[in-house]
């Protein structure tokens, strides 16, 4: 006799049978049939074909049957809008029913039917229901306004429902008030600037009164709404706090947390010497502790919030350390959060207890958790100075266990402790060195090498130790290689006599045998430094490092303030401001992507050039004379080095490099130069070799990151058919301007690789050699991906064709025009400058085909102001031929529609820096003129995209 029987019929004639049953005369049979239909619906079967038959059952006195039909209607009305109209009459009639339950049910269901035609009929009944004598109907109607707003916001505003809703805040029934607040809050979320919830002391008073009497859910809505209010003075603030405090004893944890939010916020306004302030602080602790005895998922959300509260007001929970102790069968996500809070609460008073616990955790079975526990010990040492010694000895105990991952993790944190307390715990180095052989993780190896290098003068066999690492240099990860290079240079500077051979060995390994530009460049820098000015080298490499502090893992104060205002929300769980990740409730598809660092950001922003590397100067086109300086300085980040005395030598080194050994510093290597001087970005702040120049490293990091992304783009495109149009070569540098060297060239994209095809002609009398090329910063970060391959000397009257592969990972600066590229070419005679313009189609990547849905949404999402229209004249191609031709240049046709003899092609293009360009091309049969509409978030590219269209279509 159970409902599972409804699932049994899955045969082919099922729908047919149901249809017959639905039209049966027997009431009971009808009801059973509707139940079967609903059961099929719940498991995702399509029973929409039965729509008219089910709707026929709607006119009934049987409430259950009516509800079931309503359930069905809500699900399928969208797919059968015309049929759904048939139901309107019954709805309107039901809204007049003497039974308030039916009136409410009718208005509630109507609101759930997301069909425009129906919403028109909804307005009148809704207006009546909002003023119904029965509060049950009013509270249902309040929610219905929010539903209607979701379907048709304009209609709600035009009909004045918002005002009626605002009036309901003053309703005599608390449930109605709560629902009105909830509805208004939801509507307000899609109108961030509207003044819907206009809170004044009177409304606040009404809300507080309703708070005591409404359901737990209503309390959440009201509390969340209260949290948006700013009290006039501390007295009002206190009185609100007093009336909210009882909510802390509610059984519903969401009510408790919302109350905590209101209190945390309004507490800010209370004077700290007020007695009430102290009382309030005391009252906040117990409910937070209680949350931790709830189910694990509640605990998790609570812990994320407590993490914020502890950072803002550590005094609240300072005596509650023990509730954060980990139970072995807590889920891992609870364990990790507890651990984090334990460290935040650690102080001199409780550190002994905390350390004993952490040591216990380090013997648990869950490897991830054990690692975190060991790290936590290190963080305690850095946070509580008095405990550092005890932490170190705890770590040493752990190292004695010889459990491989524990030892490695311990060494990583001991390195941090050394950085916080230099020259204090070096006695343990001997113990660390014993474990050298067991280290197999790069981070631990790098940490150990750092320690050996840093304290080389105290370790007798430092050279032997480092030498042992050097044997397998090429098998190490980059992190370890870089660290090893730096450590050996440090060792050399400290003990120059015995280690000359070693340093030469590592420098040659790094510069000659390595393919890694970071490593190679750092090797060169050290080499130059050591050979030109050892004193300066000492100052740079052995510079005093800034101490690290525990603040590094605290949330930045302004963000913390914001998050405190969002306690209990998703923002508080992710520790990100809501603007960073929560989508608008109107179904906007790409309101904003999750915060990404560096170049990703700049690709999104409409202003392409200006948001490149942080130190990029405003876009001024350098004159010819300045260009050299600019090229030299590419990324040296002029004013950012913090030790003035170092700077000249660095500048000098760079000068020297470019003057004497330009050949060896080609292409992308020079791009990363700045980064490497400051310690490669990949090394992270903790291990930086020369922290003095750190800002430079930070500055160049985004460019490098962006470059990586682009390289992937390129990789993805390899193997695609090529059919892109390549313009014939034009003369870029006439011979008379360049002492006899003539350069003509063009650009091409072949199989995802951007190439610059050059013809170099020697029109002078003597042989030319030693060619090299560099680009100035440009709008899309184009840079040579390799050296200019002119292998044989260029004899007089000889022409040589070279193809130079380009990458888009160079530094970015907006140029005018956008596609301008300034180039410097050097040979044995002089350096020459010229500029040329590349077609934007160079940057159209192979995976530029957008999903249809995404296209539609994006098209809608881009403001109309960004749309640009162009005419392409005299094209004699039909739409398919045009679309094929464009595809060859990575302009992809997503959809084609034919309306009244007019073909509409919808197309998408993706640039190397991830900017999407959407286009609509209208082609009328017989008319050689095409109309092209281009939409892009960065409207300045539209014109250049149009140029590409024209180029491609006409050739």
Instruction: Map the footprint of other proteins across residues 1-40, applying CB under 8 A.
Output: 1-4, 6-7, 27-28, 31, 35, 38-39
Site for other proteins in 196-225 (CB under 8 A): 213, 215-217, 220, 224
Q: Select the residue interacting with other proteins from 11, 12, 272, 327 (CB under 8 A).
A: 327
HSE-CB at 84 with a 13 A cutoff on CA atoms is 27
Name the phi and psi angles at 745, rounded to 5. -170, 175
- Spell out a b/e string for 168-192, using b for 16 or more CB atoms within 10 Å of the CB, else e: bbebebbbbbbbbbbbbbbbbeeee
Q: Name the residue nearer to other proteins (CB basis): 147 or 415.
A: 147
Write the CB contacts of 875 (distance below 8 Å, at least 6 apart in sequence).
882, 928, 929, 930, 953, 954
Q: Are 181 and 222 in contact (CB under 8 A)?
A: yes
Least Å distance, CB 328 to other proteins, is 4
Closest CA to 524 of 641, 722, 385, 663: 663
Q: Name the residue nearer to other proteins (CB basis): 324 or 930.
A: 324
Cα three-residue angle 671-675-681, rounded to 5 degrees: 125
Structural tokens at position 146: 């929010």
Q: Are 526 and 485 in contact (CB under 8 A)?
A: yes
Site for other proteins in 398-417 (CB under 8 A): 401, 403
Q: Name the residue nearer to other proteins (CB basis): 32 or 867.
A: 32
Structural tokens at position 407: 């030892």
Least Å distance, CB 165 to other proteins, is 14
Q: Select the residue interacting with other proteins from 52, 201, 296, 796 (CB under 8 A).
A: 296
Closest CA to 65 of 93, 26, 99, 100: 26
Least Å distance, CB 522 to other proteins, is 34
Q: Name the residue nearer to other proteins (CB basis): 405 or 455.
A: 405
Count residues near other proteins (CB under 8 A): 110
Concatenated DSSP letters of 285-327: HHHHHHHTTS-HHHHHHHHHHHHHHHHH-GGGGTT-GGGGPPP
Site for other proteins in 68-87 (CB under 8 A): 68, 71, 75, 78
Least Å distance, CB 583 to other proteins, is 6
Q: Name the residue nearer to other proteins (CB basis): 38 or 488.
A: 38
Q: Which stretch binds other proteins (CB under 8 A): 10-18, 290-298, 761-769, 777-785?
A: 290-298
Q: Name the residue nearer to other proteins (CB basis): 364 or 385.
A: 364
Q: Select the residue interacting with other proteins from 230, 589, 610, 925 (CB under 8 A).
A: 589
Least Å distance, CB 514 to other proteins, is 32
Q: Select the residue interacting with other proteins from 19, 86, 135, 849 (CB under 8 A).
A: 135
Q: Select the residue interacting with other proteins from 170, 205, 249, 461 (CB under 8 A).
A: 249
Which residue in this structure is represented by tokens 């631990």?
444
Q: Select the residue interacting with other proteins from 121, 276, 581, 859 (CB under 8 A).
A: 581
Q: Select the residue interacting with other proteins from 201, 278, 557, 584 (CB under 8 A).
A: 584
Site for other proteins in 347-386 (CB under 8 A): 356-357, 360, 363-368
Q: Are 284 and 319 in contact (CB under 8 A)?
A: no
Q: Select the residue interacting with other proteins from 569, 774, 778, 889 (CB under 8 A).
A: 569
Site for other proteins in 757-816 (CB under 8 A): none
Q: Select the residue interacting with other proteins from 88, 210, 225, 302 (CB under 8 A).
A: 302
Q: Is the peptide bond before 817 cis (omega within 30 degrees of 0)?
A: yes
Site for other proteins in 155-194 (CB under 8 A): 173, 175, 179, 182-183, 186, 189
CA distance 686 to 916: 37
The DSSP element (H or E) to which 803 belongs, if any, is strand 799-807
The answer to whether residue 578 forms part of the interface with other proteins (CB under 8 A) is yes
Least Å distance, CB 555 to other proteins, is 18
CA distance 137 to 94: 12
CA distance 892 to 340: 49
The answer to whether residue 571 forms part of the interface with other proteins (CB under 8 A) is yes
Least Å distance, CB 67 to other proteins, is 6
Which residue in this structure is represented by tokens 């510079």?
543
Least Å distance, CB 283 to other proteins, is 10
Q: Name the residue nearer to other proteins (CB basis): 4 or 154.
A: 4
Q: Select the residue interacting with other proteins from 535, 547, 570, 655 (CB under 8 A).
A: 570
Q: Name the residue nearer to other proteins (CB basis): 206 or 922.
A: 206
Least Å distance, CB 407 to other proteins, is 11
Q: Are 226 and 265 in contact (CB under 8 A)?
A: no
Strands 799-807 and 753-762: antiparallel
Q: Are 678 and 571 in contact (CB under 8 A)?
A: no
CA distance 665 to 687: 25
Q: Select the residue interacting with other proteins from 121, 276, 277, 325 (CB under 8 A).
A: 325
- Spell out a b/e string for 807-833, using b for 16 or more CB atoms within 10 Å of the CB, else e: bbbbbbbbbeebbbbbbbbbbeeebbb
Q: Select the residue interacting with other proteins from 112, 155, 580, 764 (CB under 8 A).
A: 112
Task: To the nearest 10°, report the CA torsion of 505, 511, 512, 513.
Answer: 80
Site for other proteins in 912-951 (CB under 8 A): none
The answer to whether residue 252 forms part of the interface with other proteins (CB under 8 A) is yes
């Amino acid at each position: 006799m159970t409902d599972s029987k409804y699932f049994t019929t899955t045969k082919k004639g099922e729908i047919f049978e149901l249809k017959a049953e639905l039209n049966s005369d027997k009431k009971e049979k009808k009801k059973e049939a509707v139940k079967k239909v609903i059961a099929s619906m719940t498991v995702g079967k399509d029973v929409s074909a039965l729509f008219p038959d089910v709707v026929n059952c709607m006119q009934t006195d049987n409430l259950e049957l009516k509800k079931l039909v309503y359930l069905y209607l809500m699900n399928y009305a969208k797919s059968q809008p015309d049929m759904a109209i048939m139901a309107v009459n019954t709805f309107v009639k039901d809204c007049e029913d003497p039974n308030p339950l039916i009136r409410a049910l009718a208005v509630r269901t109507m609101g759930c039917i997301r069909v425009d035609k129906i919403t028109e009929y909804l307005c009148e009944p809704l207006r009546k229901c909002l003023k119904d004598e029965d509060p049950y109907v009013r509270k249902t109607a309040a929610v219905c306004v929010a539903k209607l707003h979701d379907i048709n916001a304009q209609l709600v505003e035009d009909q004045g429902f918002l005002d009626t809703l605002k009036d309901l805040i003053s309703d005599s029934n608390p449930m109605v008030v709560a629902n009105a607040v909830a509805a208004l809050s939801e509507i307000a979320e899609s109108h961030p600037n509207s003044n819907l919830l206009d809170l004044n002391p009177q409304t606040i008073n009404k809300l507080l009164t309703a708070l005591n009497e409404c359901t737990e859910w209503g309390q959440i809505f009201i509390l969340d709404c209260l949290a948006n209010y700013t009290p006039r003075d501390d007295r009002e603030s206190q009185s609100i706090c007093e009336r909210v405090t009882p909510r802390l004893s509610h059984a519903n944890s969401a009510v408790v947390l919302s109350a905590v939010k209101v209190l945390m916020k309004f507490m800010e306004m209370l004077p700290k010497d007020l007695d009430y302030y102290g009382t309030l602080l005391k009252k906040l602790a117990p409910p937070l502790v209680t949350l931790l005895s709830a189910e694990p998922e509640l605990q998790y959300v609570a812990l994320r919030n407590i993490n914020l509260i502890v950072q803002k007001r550590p005094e609240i929970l300072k005596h509650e350390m023990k509730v954060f102790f980990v139970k072995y069968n807590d889920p891992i996500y609870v364990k990790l959060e507890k651990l984090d809070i334990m460290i935040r609460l650690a102080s001199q008073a409780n550190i002994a207890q905390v350390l004993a616990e952490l040591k216990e955790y380090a013997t648990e079975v869950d490897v991830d958790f054990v690692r975190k526990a060991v790290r936590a010990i290190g963080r305690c040492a850095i946070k509580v100075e008095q405990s550092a010694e005890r932490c170190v000895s705890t770590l040493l105990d752990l190292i004695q266990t010889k459990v491989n991952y524990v030892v490695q993790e311990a060494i990583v944190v001991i390195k941090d402790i050394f950085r916080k307390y230099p020259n204090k715990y070096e006695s343990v180095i001997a113990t660390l060195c014993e474990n050298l052989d067991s280290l197999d993780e790069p981070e631990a190896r790098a940490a150990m090498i750092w320690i050996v290098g840093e304290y080389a003068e105290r370790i007798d066999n430092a050279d032997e130790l480092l030498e042992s690492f050097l044997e397998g240099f090429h098998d190490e990860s980059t992190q370890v290689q870089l660290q090893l290079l730096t450590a050996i240079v440090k060792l050399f500077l400290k003990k120059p006599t015995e280690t000359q051979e070693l340093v030469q060995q590592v420098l040659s390994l790094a510069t000659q045998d390595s393919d890694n530009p970071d490593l190679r460049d750092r090797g060169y820098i050290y080499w130059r430094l050591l050979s030109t000015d050892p004193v300066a080298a000492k100052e740079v490499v052995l510079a005093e490092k800034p101490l690290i502090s525990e603040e590094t893992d605290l949330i930045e104060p302004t963000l913390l303030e914001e998050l405190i205002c969002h306690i209990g929300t998703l923002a508080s769980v992710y520790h990100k401001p809501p603007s960073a990740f929560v989508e608008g409730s109107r179904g906007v598809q790409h309101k904003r992507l999750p915060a990404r660092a560096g170049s990703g950001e700049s690709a999104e922003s409409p202003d392409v050039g200006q948001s490149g590397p942080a130190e990029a100067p405003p876009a001024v086109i350098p004159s010819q004379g300045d260009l050299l300086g600019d090229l030299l300085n590419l990324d040296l980040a002029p004013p950012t080095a913090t030790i003035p005395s170092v700077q000249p030598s660095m500048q000098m080194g760079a000068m020297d490099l470019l003057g004497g050994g330009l050949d060896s510093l080609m292409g992308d290597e020079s791009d990363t130069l700045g980064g490497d001087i400051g310690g490669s970005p990949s090394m992270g702040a903790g291990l930086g070799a020369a922290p003095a120049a750190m800002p430079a490293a930070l500055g160049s990091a985004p460019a490098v990151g962006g470059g990586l992304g682009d390289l992937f783009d390129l990789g993805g495109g390899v193997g695609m058919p090529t059919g892109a149009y390549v313009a014939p070569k034009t003369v870029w540098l006439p011979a008379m301007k360049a002492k006899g060297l003539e350069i003509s060239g063009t650009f091409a994209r072949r199989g995802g690789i951007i190439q610059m095809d050059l013809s170099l002609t020697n029109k002078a009398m003597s042989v030319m050699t030693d060619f090299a090329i560099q680009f100035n910063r440009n709008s899309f970060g184009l840079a040579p991906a390799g050296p200019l391959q002119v292998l044989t000397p260029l004899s007089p009257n000889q022409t040589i064709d070279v193809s130079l592969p380009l990458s888009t990972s160079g530094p970015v600066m907006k140029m005018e025009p956008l596609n301008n590229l300034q180039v410097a070419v050097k040979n044995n005679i002089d350096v020459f400058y010229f500029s040329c313009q590349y077609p934007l189609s160079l940057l159209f990547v192979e995976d530029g085909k957008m999903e249809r849905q995404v296209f539609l949404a994006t098209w809608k999402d881009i403001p109309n102001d960004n749309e640009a229209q162009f005419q392409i004249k005299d094209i004699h191609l039909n739409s398919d031929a045009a679309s094929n031709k464009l595809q060859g240049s990575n302009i992809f046709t997503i959809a084609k529609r034919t309306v009244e003899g007019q073909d509409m092609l919808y197309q998408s293009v993706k640039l190397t820096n991830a900017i999407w360009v959407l286009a609509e091309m209208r082609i009328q049969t017989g008319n050689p003129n095409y109309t092209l509409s281009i939409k892009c978030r960065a409207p300045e590219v539209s014109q250049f995209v149009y140029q590409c269209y024209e180029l491609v279509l006409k050739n």
